[in-house]
């Protein structure tokens, strides 16, 4: 409640700052229940991260609210809509972003939000949410949003929120009868539950209620399902699109299901479950500037979630001596790190994870101590701070590139104490040379270590060796060959990861050129390299 207001005044209407406070608190409220929502998830496939994705989406809203002018309702409305779109993660996060977009459209022209306006905002949220999904399915977050909209009635803000929650809960309780997967697992819909926690958090802030303790998680809905080949959960964020959203949606529709393509203010956000993530991203990338991509192997993610459930059930049993946390992006690299036993923190260049992100990952690993691989010089400090906060439960191997991280991870063993691993993994990381090919973000000229001066224009291809600029100009393939010509020292294996817009044909052609120039080396290629890079190459 705002200072200086009576209860009746505070509950009669909300000014922009009131609304911003409510949504910040709703973010924290959802955060308390994040893992509980994760544990409920079964639809449309067991990818198990609904609570995390919705919470990350709300955290993005909060970041925008923290920098907007809170005396202006249009500014607060824009922060809600814009922040939700840019931060949307996963199917549930993208749908949530559209619910918030509809909500914001109603409030943006108001000086204050009274009870009828709040009701209309929830109703608009439901309409926009349903409109964003090509094939709306009942028994999901959309059903619960409809319940919230139908229930949002009353003469004051508190009553509107109470009635919205009551009707939303009523429909949430019915979701197992609407979706066989929910009934099989004996759970309600996870996305719908997450949405109600957001509304519940808004009401709790209005009433001045303290955050509750996080509930104990004793089981995961994924335990009801066998591990199957679910394909890849694929997301992209693109700017400067040269085609309308409707045409981009049509382009990606043949690639799979669980499709969402939405946009605002020049950005296009997409989510789809597909077996062809590389072709999908290459197709979409032709029609705009790809800012961010994420591809998760859902069958492996399912296995990881079952492992979390298993670790909860075995809490009193002996745990491994060491666990592994790696910061990585690019589905091929993520898949490799996971295969080596790592829990993944999404991020890297231009998308540095927070200290809290790393701490949360360390806490989620069932092991006596955890080795952290930052894999980027800009993440190293955050990893070291996370280590300090864990008070002896973590050690950092100071990997500054993804290549170094791969070298270190290959030497990880869960049966070896983390302190003993640190020396061996650090030595292994130092034996890997990493070459990266990306594009210049500005025009400049730089004198590199060997004395050459590189004249670089914005958009030029540039090459880095172990994070040091060593080459510019030409095509991405030429950049790789030039760097190898200068820095290849007879290493046995050259591994090439292609970025989001590279195909297997591109990698095969580059591998042939490398093989012709360096006949003694074994060349391996993988799709799914990091965002914003044409190629990542390791020499070992």
Please spell the DSSP secondary structure of 292-303, one letter per residue: EEEEEEHHHHHH
In a domain, 311, yes or no: no
Same domain, yes or no: 463 and 396: no
264, 297, 330 - which closes a domain: 297
Same domain, yes or no: 449 and 335: no
Same domain, yes or no: 408 and 370: yes
Same domain, yes or no: 165 and 78: yes
Same domain, yes or no: 293 and 339: no
**CA-CA distance, 165 to 179, in Å (whole number)?**
21
207, 224, 248 - which closes a domain: 207
pLDDT recorded at residue 42:
54
Same domain, yes or no: 426 and 459: no
392, 412, 431 - which closes a domain: 431
Same domain, yes or no: 82 and 139: yes
Q: Report the CATH number at residue 528.
A: 3.30.1180
Residue 163 burial class via C-beta count within 10 angstroms: exposed 0-12, middle 13-18, buried 19 and up:
middle
Q: Report the CATH number at residue 391.
A: 3.40.50.510
Closest to 363 measured CA to CA, from 403, 405, 314, 325 = 325
Question: What 3-state class would DSSP assign to 156?
Answer: coil
8 A C-beta contact, residue 282 and residue 500: yes
* Chain mean pLDDT for the chain: 84
In a domain, 91, yes or no: yes
Average pLDDT over residues 451-458: 86
Q: Domain count for the chain, please give it.
A: 4
Domain that holds residue 155: 9-207
Q: Report the CATH number at residue 279.
A: 3.30.70.260
Reported as a pLDDT band with limits 50, 70 and 90, residue 3 is very low
Q: Is the pLDDT of residue 70 over 70?
A: yes
Same domain, yes or no: 382 and 343: yes
Distance between start and end Cα atoms, the chain: 61
**CA-CA distance, 103 to 198, in Å (whole number)?**
13
In a domain, 150, yes or no: yes
pLDDT recorded at residue 193:
95
Reported as a pLDDT band with limits 50, 70 and 90, residue 320 is confident
Same domain, yes or no: 324 and 419: yes
pLDDT recorded at residue 286:
77
Average pLDDT over residues 195-222: 86
Q: Report the CATH number at residue 20.
A: 1.25.40.340
**CA-CA distance, 486 to 341, in Å (whole number)?**
34
8 A C-beta contact, residue 152 and residue 124: no
pLDDT recorded at residue 350:
63
Average pLDDT over residues 127-150: 91
More confident residue, 208 or 317: 208
pLDDT recorded at residue 182:
77
Question: How long, in residues, is the chain?
Answer: 540
8 A C-beta contact, residue 38 and residue 49: yes
Q: Is the pLDDT of residue 4 over 50?
A: no
Same domain, yes or no: 47 and 76: yes
Q: Is the pLDDT of residue 312 over 60?
A: no
Same domain, yes or no: 169 and 247: no
Residue-wise pLDDT for 333-370, tens only, equals: 888 888 888 888 877 776 777 777 788 778 767 788 99
Average pLDDT over residues 66-94: 89
Residue-wise pLDDT for 400-412, tens only, equals: 999 999 999 999 9
pTM confidence score: 0.57
Report the percent of the chain where pLDDT is more than 70.
87
Q: Is the pLDDT of residue 133 over 70?
A: yes
Average pLDDT over residues 302-325: 55
Same domain, yes or no: 368 and 420: yes
In a domain, 223, yes or no: no
Q: Is the pLDDT of residue 276 over 50?
A: yes
Residue-wise pLDDT for 483-522, tens only, equals: 998 888 888 899 999 988 888 999 999 999 999 999 888 9
């Amino acid at each position: 409640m705002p200072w200086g207001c009576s209860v009746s005044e505070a509950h009669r209407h909300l000014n922009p700052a009131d609304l911003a406070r409510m949504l910040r608190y709703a973010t924290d409220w959802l955060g308390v229940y994040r893992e509980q929502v994760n544990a409920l998830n079964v639809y449309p496939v067991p990818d198990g991260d609904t609570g995390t994705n919705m919470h990350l989406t709300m955290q993005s809203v909060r970041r925008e609210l923290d920098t907007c002018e809170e005396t202006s309702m249009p500014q607060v409305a824009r922060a809600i809509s814009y922040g939700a779109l840019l931060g949307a993660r996963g199917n549930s996060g993208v749908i949530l972003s559209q619910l918030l977009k509809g909500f914001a459209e109603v409030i943006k022209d108001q000086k204050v939000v009274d009870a009828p306006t709040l009701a209309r905002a929830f109703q608009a949220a439901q309409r926009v949410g349903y409109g964003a999904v090509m094939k709306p399915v009942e028994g999901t977050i959309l059903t619960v949003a409809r319940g919230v909209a139908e229930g949002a009635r009353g003469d004051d803000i508190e009553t509107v929120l109470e009635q919205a929650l009551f009707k939303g809960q009523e429909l949430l309780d019915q979701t197992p009868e609407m979706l066989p997967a929910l009934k099989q697992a004996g759970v309600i819909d996870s996305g719908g539950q997450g949405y109600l926690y957001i509304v519940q958090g808004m009401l709790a802030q209005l009433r001045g209620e303290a955050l509750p303790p996080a509930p104990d998680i004793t089981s995961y809905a994924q335990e009801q399902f066998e591990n199957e080949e679910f394909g890849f959960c694929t997301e992209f964020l693109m700017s400067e699109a040269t085609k309308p959203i409707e045409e981009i949606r049509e382009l990606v529709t043949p690639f799979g299901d669980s499709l969402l393509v939405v946009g605002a203010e020049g950005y296009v956000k997409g989510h789809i479950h597909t077996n062809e993530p590389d072709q999908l991203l290459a197709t979409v990338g032709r029609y705009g500037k790809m800012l961010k991509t994420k591809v998760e192997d859902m069958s492996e993610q399912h296995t990881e979630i079952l492992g979390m459930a298993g670790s909860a059930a075995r809490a009193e049993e002996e745990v491994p001596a060491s666990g592994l946390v790696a910061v990585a992006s690019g589905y091929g690299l993520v898949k490799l790190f996971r295969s080596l036993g790592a829990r993944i923190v999404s991020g890297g260049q231009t998308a540095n994870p927070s200290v809290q992100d790393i701490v949360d990952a360390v806490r989620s690993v069932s092991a006596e101590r955890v080795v952290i691989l930052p894999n980027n010089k800009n993440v190293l400090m955050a990893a070291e701070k996370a280590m300090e906060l864990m008070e002896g439960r973590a050690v950092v191997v100071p990997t500054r590139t993804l290549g170094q991280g791969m070298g270190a991870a290959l030497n990880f063993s869960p049966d070896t104490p983390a302190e003993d691993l640190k020396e061996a993994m650090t030595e292994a990381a130092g034996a890997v040379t990493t070459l990266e090919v990306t594009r210049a973000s500005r025009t400049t000229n730089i004198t590199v270590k060997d004395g050459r001066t590189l004249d670089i224009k914005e958009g030029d291809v540039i090459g880095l060796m172990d994070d040091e600029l060593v080459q510019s100009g030409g095509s991405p393939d030429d950049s790789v060959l030039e760097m190898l010509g200068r820095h290849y020292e007879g290493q046995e294996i050259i591994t090439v990861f292609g970025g989001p817009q590279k195909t297997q044909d591109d990698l095969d052609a580059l591998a042939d050129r490398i093989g012709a120039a360096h006949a003694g080396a074994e060349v391996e290629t993988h799709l799914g390299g990091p965002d914003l890079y044409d190629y990542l190459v390791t020499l070992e």
